[in-house]
Amino acid sequence: MSADMQKLIGANEEDDEEEIEMDVKEEDNEDHENGQKHIAAQMMLGADGVMPSTSHQFQIQQQLQEQVSTPGGGARRSRPLEEKERTKLRERHRRAITARILAGLRKHGNYNLRVRADINDVIAALAREAGWVVLPDGTTFPSRSQGSRPAGDSSAGLTSSSSQMLSQQVPPTSLQGVSSGYCASVEYNACHMKGVFMPTPAPYDLSSSGHSQSSGMVGNGGEQTESLPLIAGSMEVINEQIIGLPPKLPERDFAGTPYVPVYVMLPLGVVNMKCELVDPDGLLKQLRVLKSINVDGVMIDCWWGIVEADAPQEYNWNGYRRLFKMVHELKLKLQVVMSFHECGGNVGDDVCIPLPHWVAEIGRSNPDIFFTDREGRRNTECLSWGIDKERVLRGRTAVEVYFDFMRSFRVEFNEFFEDGIISMVEVGLGPCGELRYPSCPVKHGWRYPGIGEFQCYDQYMLKSLMKAAEMRGHSFWARGPDNAGSYSSHPHETGFFCDEGDYDGYYGRFFLNWYSQLLINHGDLVLSLAKLAFEGSCIAAKLPGIHWWYKTSSHAAELTAGFYNPCNRDGYIAIAAMLHKHGAALNFARAELQFLEQREDLQEALANPQGLVWQVLNAAWETCITVVSENAFVCHDRVGYNKILENVKPVNDPDGRHFSSFTYLRLTPLLMERQNFMEFERFVKRMHGEAVLYLQV
């Protein structure tokens, strides 16, 4: 990418040299024309200001022609050669700087500027990013204020309602380029968003207050319009911001916004394999510091591999009981995760917690209890959903094992439920605790942005597939796709996922429907038992954000993970309906995902984090389920916190919807460093809707 950019800059500089020479020639021609005009004026007027006679005009004209044709004549002001060279050097230096600026904007700012872009293109791109409308003729006005249009605008005949509809078509936060926003919006909504609502966010670096967008003001014509969220509400201010005069831009003020509880996820190894609390004194100090800044509570994983490690139905909760008492004494709340998967080998895992030993022993004699790919490789992260109803775990089915574990937890910590200390129980439904297939295991060779592989080749899932194929009347469909590529393949490299591939054929639709329905059935069954075990308490399920290849027709990476969500089908509505059936909340673990569009690897993978975020959120909100979230990436800076805040509390949502809670990933020594902790304290206050000082970045 950098090599291509260097070539682009080099090509620009060669073109610029030609333009410089043309500019210098044009200046000389202008001097020549100005000299001729000056001479002509002298010819037309005499020394005393009166018109000379015809014979006298002829004599003057002959003299002037001789002067113009003679080098060094007095009529034409000849520029010294050194001055021309200095002009060329200055112009070359200026254009080289401009080329570097434009290259940086393209590479790091995701600005789709043309090759010969100038300052006008940059200003137009910035105006679009600020939510303004830029017409093809360069006319610029706020998208939500008709009073700011110039009187001579050719489109002034548009009504207020039609202009608002036009402004809503402009895609939010993605209009950083100079291409037409209207075309991109139509294509975006038609192909990828399936008609869901996309609220227009107010960028934190442009609006001074969330309330300023709805405050009224009177325009020149006397009619009431909406005020533009600028520092001083004037066009001069936005011009100063664009050319970079103010060194800092204002943030959005979250004072008065809804209170969103903030939890902090505790370290993975806070309880060791013997179910003992590690470093209780140090943890107590950290919890007190968190309490001092009004953090609402903490989240803790209760690992199946620790509590029921040695023998079936022999549970050891000692370390967790000590931890819960500590949290209770500090008057903090608890979010608890029923972790039925192994820890280790995934991003962010710094400890190793396998599945229980007795489960591993069963797996050695019957490896089909684990997910299996086409090559027969087993994935021991979690149990296959094929044994949800198979009594292969010492006389119990998988869901019975999960239910016994959850019931034991409820009995052990019943007083914490009654006192309201445990505010939510998140139920692990797959690898990393997420409701998905383990389609992208690094240990089996997957590398981003690979599409992954289907995980349906253990004998129990194949038996389910055979049954479904026979019910359909096509027993030969009882097989997995044979042209779906490998873990790190790209969609266009396969016959199944490419455009107009087999995924959209009769067999492909049958297989994907069965594969995704098995995922929904697993979540439905486990959550029904969780609702029974934790009656009266809030339960939640976690969904991943698989955003790569979202801009392709097949959405291949989502398909292998179990989400039947190609461009012509909404694969998240059925999952949201299943969660709503059990009154479960949705934990969508990608709070800052939609702000990653600028990364080059996402562009190359045809990823669309923003589209995925809003599709999942709309599916959740349409079915009236609670949405909670956590950050997917480590965050210690104000820019990252601002992005999370904008997503948790979308400013322009017409129904005022927001996330119900947020969990910060995770408590580490780095977070407790002075500067990082001050930023985190400020973030917590803004999540709580409190006013904070020093809004400047």
Residues annotated as catalytic (active site), given as ranges: 434, 630
CA atoms within 13 A on the CB side of 138: 5
DSSP state for residue 335 in the 8-state scheme:
E
How far is residue 178's CA from residue 355's CA, in Å, rounded to a whole number? 53
- E runs forming strands in 564-668: 585-588, 627-630, 661-664
Q: How many CA atoms lie within 13 A of 634 on its CB side?
A: 9
The 10 Å Cβ neighbour count of residue 316 is: 15
The 3-class secondary structure across 70-131, one letter per residue, is: CCCCCCCCCCCHHHHHHHHHHHHHHHHHHHHHHHHHHHHHCCCCCCCCCHHHHHHHHHHHCC
Tell me whether residue 499 is exposed, middle or buried, using C-beta atoms within 10 angstroms of its C-beta: 0 to 12, 13 to 18, 19 or more. Answer: exposed
643-667 burial by CB neighbour count: b if 16+ within 10 A, else e? bbbbbbbbbbeeeeebbbbbbbbbb
138, 254 in Cβ contact below 8 A?
Answer: no
Q: Which spans in 264-317 are helix H?
A: 280-292, 304-307
DSSP 565: -
Q: Report the 10 Å Cβ neighbour count for 29.
A: 10
Query: Which amino acid does the sequence have at 488?
Result: S
| Rounded distance between C-alpha atoms, residue 299 and residue 305, angstroms | 18
The alpha carbon of residue 212 and the mean position of all alpha carbons in its chain are separated, in whole angstroms, by: 25
Residue found under tokens 């993605």? 174
Task: Find the helix or strand (DSSP H, E) in which 7 lies.
Answer: helix 2-44
Contact between 143 and 128 under an 8 Å Cβ cutoff? The reply is no
Comparing CA positions, the residue from 198, 210, 216, 296 lying closest to residue 257 is: 210
Pairing of strands 378-383, 661-664: unpaired
- CA R_g for the chain: 33
Any bridge partners for residue 393, and if so which?
396
Rounded to whole angstroms, the Cα distance separating 435 from 578 reads 12
Provide the pairing of β-strand 333-339 with 297-303.
Answer: parallel
Rounded CA-CA distance 199/671 in Å is: 32
